[in-house]
Structure 1
Amino acid sequence: MACPEHDLERVIAAEAGRGLDTSVETPLRVRLLRVGDRDHVLLLVLHHIAGDGWSLGPLARDLSDAYSARSRGRAPDWEPLPVQYADHTLWRNEVLGADDDPGSELSRQLAHWREALRGAPEETVLPVDRARPERSSGRGGSVPLRLSSELHERLGALGDRHGASLFMVLNAGLTALLSRLGAGSDLTVGTPTAGRTEAELDDLVGFFVNTVAIRTRTSGNPTFDDLVIRSRQACLAAFAHQDAPFDRVVEELRPTRLGSRPPLFQVMLALQNLPAARASLGDLDTTVMDGVGTRQAKFDLTFNLTEHLGSGGVADGLLGDLEYDADLFDEGTARSIAARFTHLLAVLAEAPERAIEDAELLLPGERAELDEGSAGPDRPGAADSILEAFEAQVLCTPDRTAVVAGDHSLTFAELDARAESLARLLADRGAGPGSTVATVLPRSVDLAVALLGVLRSGAALLPVDTSYPRERIDHMFADARPEHVLMTTGHRTRVPADSTVLYVDALPLDTPTLRVPDRPGPRDTAYVVYTSGSTGRPKGVVVEHRSLANLLHSHRERVFGPAVAAVGRPLRVAHTAGVSFDASWDPFLWMVDGHELHIVQDPVRGDAERLVALLRERGVDAVETTPSYARQLVALGLFDGGTGPRVLALGGEPVDARLWAELREVPGLTAHNLYGPTECTVDSVTARSDDEAEPVIGGPIANTGARVLDGGLRPVPAGSSESSTSAGPGSRAVTSAARG
Structure 2
Amino acid sequence: MSTRITSSYQSNLAQQLAALSPAKRSLLELRLMRKNRRQSAQSMTIPRQPNRESAPLSYNQQGLWVLNQLMPGTSLYHTPMAVRLTGNLDVAALKNALDMVIARHDALRTTFGIVDGSPKQVVAKSLALDMPIIDLTEFPQPDRDTEAQRLLQDEAGRPFDLSQGPLIRSLLLRLAEREHILLVTTHHIVTDGWSVGIFQRQLSELYEAANDEQQSSLPQLPIQYPDYSIWQREWFEGDVYQSQLAYWKKQFATLPPVLELPVDHPRPSIQAYRAFRGAQHTISLSKQLTHDLKQLCRKENVTLFMTLMAAFQVLLHRYTGEDDIVVGTPIAGRQMPETEDLIGLFINTLAMRTSISGELTLRDLLGRVKEVALGAYAHQDLPFERLVKELQPERTLAHNPLFQVMFVLQSEDIQPLQLEGLEVEHFRVGNIMANFDLTLDIVERDEQLVCLFESNADLFDSDTIERLMGHFQNLLEGIVANPEQKISELPLLSEAERRKLLVEWNDTRTDYPANKCIQELFEQQVERTPDAVALICDNRQLSYRELNSQANRLAHYLRKRGVAADSRVAICMQRSPEMIVALLAILKAGGAYLPLSKIRGPRRL
TM-score (structure 2 length as normaliser): 0.64
Equivalent residue, structure 2, for 1:124: 259
Find out whether 1:44 has 2:171 as its counterpart: no
Find out whether 1:82 has 2:218 as its counterpart: no
Equivalent residue, structure 1, for 2:485: 354
Aligned partner of 2:369 among 231, 248, 270? 231
Check whether the contact 2:313–2:325 (CA below 8 A) recurs between aligned residues.
yes
Report the alpha carbon displacement of residue 205 of structure 1 after superposing the two structures with TM: 1.0
Aligned partner of 1:366 among 491, 497, 501? 497
Report the alpha carbon displacement of residue 557 of structure 1 after superposing the two structures with TM: 9.5
The SS at the match of 1:107 is: helix
The SS at the match of 1:226 is: helix
Distance 1:19 1:134 in 2: 26
Count matched residues.
Answer: 436
| Residue-by-residue CA offset, 1:531-564 (whole Å, 9 max, x unaligned) | xxxxxxxxxxxxxxx4655676799999985359
Distance 1:110 1:125 in 2: 28
Aligned partner of 2:208 among 59, 65, 68? 68
Q: Which residue identity does 1:28 align to in structure 2?
A: I
Given the superposition, is the C-alpha separation of residues 337 and 11 from structure 1 closer, same or farther in structure 2, using an over 3 Å criterion?
Answer: farther
Distance 2:530 2:242 in 1: 62
Equivalent residue, structure 2, for 1:475: none
TM-score (structure 1 length as normaliser): 0.53
The SS at the match of 1:243 is: coil
Report the alpha carbon displacement of residue 199 of structure 1 after superposing the two structures with TM: 2.8
Equivalent residue, structure 1, for 2:441: 304
For the pair shown, which has the larger CA radius of gyration, 1 or 2? 1
Given the superposition, is the C-alpha separation of residues 601 and 208 from structure 1 closer, same or farther in structure 2, using an over 3 Å criterion?
Answer: farther
Q: What are the equivalent positions in structure 2 for 1:475-624 lying under 5 Å apart?
A: 546=517, 561-563=532-534, 570-571=545-546, 587-588=551-552
The SS at the match of 1:357 is: coil
Check whether the contact 1:17–1:294 (CA below 8 A) recurs between aligned residues.
no
Equivalent residue, structure 2, for 1:506: none
Report the alpha carbon displacement of residue 372 of structure 1 after superposing the two structures with TM: 5.7
**Larger proportion of helix:** 2
Find out whether 1:134 has 2:269 as its counterpart: yes
Distance 1:35 1:71 in 2: 21
The SS at the match of 2:346 is: coil
Moved more, 350-359 or 297-306: 350-359
Check whether the contact 2:263–2:460 (CA below 8 A) recurs between aligned residues.
yes
The SS at the match of 2:189 is: coil
Aligned alpha-carbon RMSD (Å): 3.9
Equivalent residue, structure 1, for 2:22: none
| Residue-by-residue CA offset, 1:350-407 (whole Å, 9 max, x unaligned) | 221221111110023111222366448544233534xxxxxxxxxxxxxxxxxxxxxx
Equivalent residue, structure 1, for 2:319: 181
Q: Which residue identity does 2:436 align to in structure 1?
A: F
| Residue-by-residue CA offset, 1:289-334 (whole Å, 9 max, x unaligned) | 4x654411110000111233x6xxxxx1122411111221112211
Find out whether 1:59 has 2:199 as its counterpart: yes
Distance 2:584 2:376 in 1: 44
Aligned partner of 1:384 among 515, 520, 524? 515
Equivalent residue, structure 2, for 1:401: none
Q: What are the equivalent positions in structure 2 for 1:411-422 lying under 5 Å apart?
A: none
Report the alpha carbon displacement of residue 265 of structure 1 after superposing the two structures with TM: 0.5
| Residue-by-residue CA offset, 1:204-254 (whole Å, 9 max, x unaligned) | 111100111001122223222221121111111111111111111111112
Distance 2:172 2:527 in 1: 66
Given the superposition, is the C-alpha separation of residues 187 and 269 from structure 1 closer, same or farther in structure 2, using an over 3 Å criterion?
Answer: same
Check whether the contact 1:384–1:549 (CA below 8 A) recurs between aligned residues.
no
Find out whether 1:336 has 2:467 as its counterpart: yes
Check whether the contact 1:382–1:553 (CA below 8 A) recurs between aligned residues.
no
Distance 1:254 1:557 in 2: 61
Distance 2:448 2:361 in 1: 24
The SS at the match of 2:219 is: coil
> Structure 2 unaligned runs (5+)?
1-133, 137-142, 561-570, 601-605
Given the superposition, is the C-alpha separation of residues 599 and 154 from structure 1 closer, same or farther in structure 2, using an over 3 Å criterion?
Answer: same
> Structure 1 unaligned runs (5+)?
311-315, 386-545, 576-586, 603-623, 631-647, 654-671, 685-721, 724-740
Check whether the contact 1:159–1:228 (CA below 8 A) recurs between aligned residues.
no
Distance 2:163 2:348 in 1: 23
Distance 1:559 1:157 in 2: 66
For CA contacts below 8 A with separation 6 or more, give which structure has more relative contact order. 2
Find out whether 1:153 has 2:291 as its counterpart: yes
Report the alpha carbon displacement of residue 39 of structure 1 after superposing the two structures with TM: 2.9
Equivalent residue, structure 2, for 1:112: 247
Check whether the contact 2:172–2:180 (CA below 8 A) recurs between aligned residues.
yes
Check whether the contact 1:68–1:281 (CA below 8 A) recurs between aligned residues.
yes
Check whether the contact 1:547–1:681 (CA below 8 A) recurs between aligned residues.
no
Find out whether 1:280 has 2:418 as its counterpart: yes
Q: Which residue identity does 1:63 align to in structure 2?
A: L
Identity %: 32
